[in-house]
Chains A and B, each alone.
Chain A
């Protein structure tokens, strides 16, 4: 110990020149780790230039023996994207101190980043032998297995990591596995646990909120999205999801104010401009809606939902030729959706191409099993064409679907649609359609006004025009239709966030 209480001040830094006699003997070796602390301090401050300068100096002084300097140099290389170089340096570190699990971890990490997942797992397993208490090793092993598509192994490793120490990241990865496998329930369970563990992690909250949305538990979805927004008011995903929920509720102005935040943060997001467009659509500002949707389409030309919405808006604007193009483009990307064919049929009807319209309806009817609107629109067309028998078949089909839906869900029908159906029923002389009486609640349709005035002209070809009104409202009033972006959509107490 330093009992050398010598008052001699020769060793003192204040008088550095007296140290010189030291040098005449065999050269003293500098302490290898002399400036490690400084390298570390610069590194954590992200002052990489200064860091590299010190590393260079240090490596020169120690002739490349300073392990930590090499280690940090490798870390910086990796941050700069030179993964191969970083890998080589980490391997040098692993040679300098072969017993250190950390070096192996970094070697594996670089391998992982290079996409060599198999090799990475091997190195991680090696590291796990040296250090069995490190959650990070197991977590990363799990992630490697995800990329290798060995989900069971990945789950085991991630659960192991959770046992060692709980981290948000591990939960997120576990959740991802379940989502990849398509197991929504398990994924939600994991995310619920994760949110319990760290209730302020906005990513977890948002993901859980979106999952709730997907399974249709809107109350909880909004709760979690709202929580995410209180912790991070500019969370892009959460705003978009919450906004689309408000949209479903008709709170277009509130949703639009929310979207402003996103628009400044992520101005090139296609779902954002899609949602903004549909807000304007809801507010009946059709030109603005088309502008926004076209921008969305420009940003994501292969997104069929945007094309669908564009088709819908153009139908409303009575630009049937344009609508036809957007809808047929959408069908090219998404050939499995009945509603698209129905809208196409509506466009075709208005373009006086009845033959193709009928074919489109046929396709729609055979693709879709639940939407009575298709049958109704088809029936109207057939009736207008004078094919009463076929119209009757479609009408009955529609009644069947309505009965089915009435039992299973709480979908609300657009009053206009009900009215139309009743009129058609009368015209076809099937008697009063009792199916409707229960299901009509307060209709939410925003497009109602477009055609109710024309309802009387039923016998005329105009009838198909009304059916168009139905078609459009469908996209706005039915919760599962993509009038808003991606999976985000649903009703509930949307006002909660809207205020701030």
Chain B
């Protein structure tokens, strides 16, 4: 910036990607405390003195202190508090009077505040929405005390269920109340006329009847009740109203209102609707199947950024032309227009701290910033034509100037194979030992194989033997006989010297209950004492797990433990149905004592 004195250069300079960068770092203030969106940035010659100012609708830190800031160079020229958060700020020429200084419009809540020469000039409020006649009627009755609160509540609920026109806030609030509070609420509010108000979500400008740079423009508003309004620039009357299927979040307009125009509205349902002059409702629809995060028109191509980290190009009829994948989430988008070279491109601020500039699907330039950029604006600032203004997530302000010699060429960004292709593969290395073993295997492979096979057979044999033995002596905790399918598992609780031993016995048969079973404990009587070493099991219903509890007292104080065997027997048979070996833990209680 020519106007900016060198002292304004901040210590923490904006990191420039390479020495031959196309940008001059004019200003970086990480503590500028500007929290805003691209929609709330505007550049204009507000005083008609040839010095372009930056208008910022600042949300304040945490969205708490909304302010209107006007910056001249890097300095804040004026700052005034706002009553509500600004949704959008635009500058436009509203009449033909000389000097032709643009007016500033700030959309906030249900109103548009228009400033001229930075002085408040006019306030436009959105017309109130029609209320449900039935609802109005009900409240009229309430006013005359012809209806009791309970009936009122029922009737209102009926309206909410069916009616096309939603209820007013007053009625909704009323429906939430407890019975006791209703009376007071009705008395307090009955005299007031019910009303429904909507808010502005987005705003842009549309040339009225001339395509010139300094032609008079209309304001186009998108509202929360899914409408688009076009306002007359002088009288602020509504020139046209258009209905949308969803709430508009971003608008993009081309053409002139009196001649022919195209309006693209990116909506909250993930669709972009395209309207024309004589259409009251959308003519084309682009379904993104993702949320749009920005909408920019470059010549005749609509560029939409989606929250799935991609940029899409569409024709004005909604046909998809191209898609580019981004390395990170897109935070904001805006148009870069370099009049001297007739260049139009899209800038996208990404979550990884990059600003990427695309012309169609070719990457022209990447700017790396110290913090993620949340709003972008390019244009004439001060007396410098091509200035890029960025604000960051942390509230910082970055101003860069495009070098006059800079030419954007295709392939200014990444080219060729991905960088990963140049890195070497990390093939795991093999040790000397491994090589020696390999050699040994080559020499004595057969012997190794034979030894292994012999051992394997021996192992299998022993396993089989042990298994057979377990089966023969019913050592397994699952009964193998078909008549008494049983499952047992045991849990030992406690630290000692007294433990609680819980046996979970389950009858796994499909339908047959089991009766006449006995449980017997075998243990070393020198080490453990059990109150009952032998007891009967109740009838076992199929499927249920029966916990059988008993206490075990550890008698030894030498810190040794033993195995307790649990046998489940059938009355009158000596061979157990199943058995379990419980490894008792060492008694810690005694060891400590």
State how many angstroms separate the Cβ of A362 from the closest Cβ of chain B: 20
B residues contacting A by CB (< 8 A) are 37, 59, 62-63, 68, 80-85, 87, 108-110, 113, 120, 122-127, 160-162, 164, 166, 169-170, 172-173, 176, 188-189, 191-192, 197-202, 224, 236-238, 247, 249, 268-269, 287, 289, 291-293, 307, 320, 322-323, 325, 329, 331-332, 351, 374, 393, 416-418, 420-430, 435, 438, 441-442, 445-446, 448-450, 452
- Which residues from chain B contact A2 at a C-beta distance below 8 Å? 123-127, 236
Q: A3-B237, A14-B81, A34-B84 are in contact. List 18 more A-B contacts (CB 8 A).
A: A1-B237, A2-B126, A2-B127, A13-B108, A13-B120, A26-B191, A37-B87, A40-B201, A44-B249, A44-B293, A63-B173, A65-B173, A102-B269, A136-B289, A276-B427, A288-B427, A319-B441, A350-B445
A-B interface, 8 closest residue pairs, ranked by CB to CB distance from nearest: A264-B420, A37-B201, A29-B169, A13-B83, A33-B224, A321-B449, A12-B120, A291-B428
Q: Taking the complex as formed, is A180 at the interface, i.e. its CB lies under 8 A from any CB of chain B?
A: no
- Which residues from chain B contact A50 at a C-beta distance below 8 Å? 62-63
Report the nearest A residue to B82, measured CB to CB.
A13
Q: Taking the complex as formed, is A165 at the interface, i.e. its CB lies under 8 A from any CB of chain B?
A: yes
Q: Are A31 and B418 in contact (CB under 8 A)?
A: no
Kindly state the separation between the CA atoms of A38 and B329 in the bound complex, as whole angstroms: 18
Within 8 A of B (CB), among A172-189: none
Interface residue tally for chain A (C-beta within 8 Å): 82
Pick the residue among B59, B125, B430 that contacts A290 (CB under 8 A): B430
Q: Taking the complex as formed, is A32 at the interface, i.e. its CB lies under 8 A from any CB of chain B?
A: yes
Within 8 A of B (CB), among A25-59: 26, 29-38, 40-41, 43-47, 50, 53-54
- Which residues from chain A contact B188 at a C-beta distance below 8 Å? 26
A to B CB contacts below 8 Å, 17 in the list: A1-B237, A16-B81, A19-B83, A31-B199, A34-B84, A36-B199, A38-B59, A54-B63, A99-B164, A200-B322, A260-B425, A263-B420, A292-B427, A320-B446, A320-B449, A324-B449, A353-B449
Q: Are B425 and A232 in contact (CB under 8 A)?
A: no
Q: Are B80 and A31 in contact (CB under 8 A)?
A: no
State how many angstroms separate the Cβ of B225 from the closest Cβ of chain A: 8
Pick the residue among B189, B198, B291, B320 that contacts A43 (CB under 8 A): B291
Q: Are B441 and A1 in contact (CB under 8 A)?
A: no
Q: Are A37 and B445 in contact (CB under 8 A)?
A: no
Q: Taking the complex as formed, is A167 at the interface, i.e. its CB lies under 8 A from any CB of chain B?
A: yes
Interface of B, secondary structure class, is mixed
Pick the residue among A9, A63, A167 that contacts B287 (CB under 8 A): A167
Pick the residue among A9, A32, A198 that contacts B169 (CB under 8 A): A32
Q: Are A12 and B166 in contact (CB under 8 A)?
A: no
Report the nearest A residue to B160, measured CB to CB.
A98
- Which residues from chain A contact B429 at a C-beta distance below 8 Å? 291
Kindly state the separation between the CA atoms of A43 and B331 in the bound complex, as whole angstroms: 10
State how many angstroms separate the Cβ of A286 from the closest Cβ of chain B: 9
- Which residues from chain B contact A288 at a C-beta distance below 8 Å? 427
Kindly state the separation between the CA atoms of A34 and B289 in the bound complex, as whole angstroms: 26
Q: Are A97 and B63 in contact (CB under 8 A)?
A: no
Q: Are B428 and A26 in contact (CB under 8 A)?
A: no
Q: Are B289 and A167 in contact (CB under 8 A)?
A: yes
Kindly state the separation between the CA atoms of A16 and B441 in the bound complex, as whole angstroms: 90
Kindly state the separation between the CA atoms of A45 and B388 in the bound complex, as whole angstroms: 21
- Which residues from chain B contact A264 at a C-beta distance below 8 Å? 420, 423
- Which residues from chain A contact B430 at a C-beta distance below 8 Å? 287, 290-291
Kindly state the separation between the CA atoms of A32 and B225 in the bound complex, as whole angstroms: 12
Q: Taking the complex as formed, is A373 at the interface, i.e. its CB lies under 8 A from any CB of chain B?
A: no
Given contacts A318-B445, A321-B452, contact A97 B166 (CB under 8 A): yes
Given contacts A31-B109, A45-B331, A234-B420, contact A65 B172 (CB under 8 A): yes
Given contacts A33-B224, A45-B293, contact A135 B449 (CB under 8 A): no
State how many angstroms separate the Cβ of A215 from the closest Cβ of chain B: 28
